[in-house]
Chains A and B, each alone.
Chain A
Amino acid sequence: MFYPLAAVTVVSALAVITARNPVRSAMALVATLASLAVCFVALGAHLVAALQIIVYAGAVMVLFLFVIMLLNVQEDPHEGGRTGLKVAAAAIGAALAALFGTVLLRGGGSVEGAWPAGFGTTRALARVLFGDYLVAFELTSVLLLVAVVGAVVLARHDSDESDPGEVEEPQ
């Protein structure tokens, strides 16, 4: 069960970074996110998997596609020309792999272990979220507010700006 899943994930991730057309990259990314959601389910995080589909694959990717369409991003024929970087990236990748390998070879615990009752459910998540991490939760809401305001401010047209000093004369 695990290996096919892993294979799909990796292949779609590779597709993201190698596709010429940005739209194709976006589609591949959706696939990656979806297969990751399945991984989450396998790991007993049901709520998180649901959130992954709804928020990530749903909202964020739609946003991405909107922007791609808006900016009319085309295929780039000169894409992927920096060979030097590719080699360097490969080298770094190898180094990373080696590092993680040394850690991972020590093995970890069994995944299908003894999970407590209700592991991964909404109730369990809510208990921790609103309990131990309440402050972080509140701050995150502030963060979201700031992000919304920032996005709006950054993206609006300059011609919409009105002269702030002008006051309408009451008739």
Chain B
Amino acid sequence: MITAAHYLALSAILFFIGATGVVTRRNLIVIFMSIEIMLNAANLAFVAAAAILGKMDGQTIVFFVMTVAAAEAAVGLAVMIALFRNVETVKADEVGALRW
């Protein structure tokens, strides 16, 4: 019997994986991709909830999340390009100008 719990657990695991990627990796682009994983994990949770409740609101939210994630990806990558032009690197360690 596949219950909502299964899908929610999958969502949690994916979220955890994404979080680990954000924290662990040095490459900024990979960090970004990990963030995308986390967003998708959230999407999965919403869709599961919609299925449980039988209402379309959950899927509508997913719609919005996807939109926003796309916009964010675009802008974020543009920032990365601008950053790369200035510091010639995409390694998180070397972009530490805001250090104390």
A and B: interacting chains: yes
Which residues on A are within 8 Å of B, measured CB to CB? 1-2, 6, 9-10, 13-14, 16-17, 19, 22, 25-26, 29, 32-33, 36, 39-40, 43-45, 47-48, 51-52, 55-56, 59-60, 63-64, 67-68, 70-71, 73, 76, 78-82, 85-86, 88-90, 92-93, 96-97, 100, 104-105, 107-116, 119-120, 124-125, 127-129, 132-133, 136, 140, 143-144, 146-148, 150-152, 154-155
Q: B66–A86 contact, CB under 8 A?
A: no
Q: A110-B1, A111-B3, A125-B60 are in contact. List 18 more A-B contacts (CB 8 A).
A: A10-B13, A17-B21, A17-B25, A40-B47, A43-B48, A45-B51, A52-B66, A55-B70, A60-B70, A67-B77, A68-B29, A79-B26, A93-B19, A108-B3, A108-B4, A109-B3, A133-B60, A143-B71
Does B95 interact with chain A (Cβ within 8 Å)?
A: no
Cβ–Cβ < 8 Å partners of A81 in chain B: 26
In the docked arrangement, what's the CA distance between A107 and B2, Å? 11
